Structure 1
């Protein structure tokens, strides 16, 4: 059985992946830390904090599979610096949490 960490579950791609994982019988645990809370979903652990790093810190169970669906556009982020903060830093935090 698989224990999955998914970041970006509130976005378009992450939401689709989360729904697929929920239906997969090989997955017995899903951790989906987010900045904004998800709707209550049975079998999904959803710590949520404005800073994703804080939400990731709440994931304590072992993880077999890590999925990163984080991403934004420069227009959404507002600047080159903001996109680096949105697209690079949390991705590294996700990898560290999965490790």
Structure 2
């Protein structure tokens, strides 16, 4: 049982390190637009029914919101991004 818990914790830590690293990379490459890029990738993942990647990019977006004070976050822009992704699916 302890071996199972250790493996599970190691797996969860690896997942966390991945989204934190992706958040840092996006924030460095485009501080102002990094949040929107992460959300765009989350919307795309959701549109192709890849729920693991959807959760990953959603967590990346929340991490960017936490670490990057210059990141723009406007609900109207997010709605437009979501609408574009939905229009592309049809």
Instruction: State if a TM-score over 0.5 links the two structures.
Output: no
Q: TM-score, normalization: structure 2? A: 0.30
Q: TM-score, normalization: structure 1? A: 0.28
Greater fraction of residues in helix:
2
